[in-house]
Structure 1
Amino acid sequence: MALQWFVLECVLVAEAAIAMLLTIPWPKPIKSQIVTFTSYLLQPSGSAIPFAVFNLVDLYWKNEHRMMCSSEICTDEERVRYERSIFKAQKNVILCSLVCLLYWCMHKICKYHKEIQELEEAEKRLKKL
C-alpha cells in the first residue's frame, strides 16, 4: 500500500522539477529542446493520471466506509489512530490532486510554447512576402 504512495510522490517530484525547468527563462534554442523533451515525456507519464484518479476513488471509498470514532466509547488510543488516518488520507488526496494539476500545467506550457513557435514562423513567412 505504501509503494503506490511512494510512486506518486516520486512522480510529483519529477513533475515539479520538469515544471520548474519549463518556467525558467532560457535562451530560445535551449527552451525549445526542453519543451520537445518534455513533450516526449508527457506521453508515458500520462499513465500517472489514471493511477492518481484510481487512488482518489479508493480514498473516497475508504472514507465512506471508515468506522467512525467520535463517540465517548472510543479510547484515546483509538481516537488518535482514527485522526491520524484522517490526516494521512487528506495528505494523499492533496498528493493525487497535485500530480494531476502539475501534469496539466506541463501539458499547457508545452502546448503554448509550440503555438508561439508556430506563430513566430508564420510571422516570418508573412514578413518575407
Structure 2
Amino acid sequence: MALQWMILTYVVAAEAVIAFLLTLPAPKALKSTIVSLISLILQPSMFIVPFSAFQLLDIYWKNEHRLMCSGDTCTAAERDRYEKSIFKAQRNVILCFSACLLYWCIYRVCKYHKEIQSMEEVEKR
C-alpha cells in the first residue's frame, strides 16, 4: 500500500512542477513549445484521475470497517495508533484531491493557451 501512496506523491509533485512551469512568464515560442509538450503528456497521464478515485474508495472502505478505539477499553498505545491511522487517511485524501485538482488546472491552462493561439491566428488573417 505504501508504494501506491509514494507513486501518488511523486505524481502530485510532478504536476505541481508542471503547473509552475506553465504559469511562468516566458517568450511566446518557448511557451508554445512547453504547452505542446505538456499537451502530449496530458492524455497518457489521465490515469491519475481513476487511480485517485480508487484510492479514495479504498480509504472510505477502510474507514467504514475500522475498529473504533474510544473509551476505557483502549490502551494509550492503541489510541495513538488509531489517531495516527486517522491522520494518515486524512493526508491521503488531501493527496488524492490535489492530484485531481492539479491535473484539471494543467488541462485548463493548456486549453486556454491553445484557444488564445487560435484567436491570435484568426485575428492575423
TM-score of the superposition, structure 2-length normalised?
Answer: 0.98
Provide the residue aligned with 1:51 in structure 2. 51
CA separation in 1, counterparts of 2:98 and 2:72? 36
Q: Which runs of 5+ in 1 are unaligned?
A: none
Give the Å deviation of 1:70: 1.3
Residues in 2 aligned to 1:84 and 1:90: alpha-carbon distance in whole angstroms: 10
> Taking structure 1 as the reference length, what is the TM-score of the superposition?
0.95
Cα separation, 1, equivalents of 2:38 and 2:70: 48
CA RMSD of aligned residues (A): 0.5
Structure 2 stretches lacking a partner, 5+ long? none
Cα distance in structure 2, aligned partners of 1:60 and 1:32: 41
Does 2:108 align with 1:108? yes
Q: Deviations over 1:19-65 (max 9, x none)?
A: 00000000100000000000001111111111111000100111111
1:33 corresponding residue in structure 2: 33
Which residue is equivalent to 1:64?
Answer: 64
Q: Aligned partners of 2:78, 2:62: CA distance in 1, in Å? A: 17
How many residues align? The count is 125
Structure 1 CA distance for aligned equivalents of residues 34 and 70 of structure 2: 52
Q: Which residue of 2 aligns with 1:85?
A: 85
Structure 1 outlier segments of 4+, above 2 Å: none
Which residue number corresponds to residue 22 of structure 1?
22
Larger of the two Rg values belongs to structure? 1
Alignment match, 1:3: 3
The separation in 2 between residues aligned to 1:123 and 1:15, in whole angstroms, is 33
Structure 1: distance between partners of 2:65 and 2:6:
24
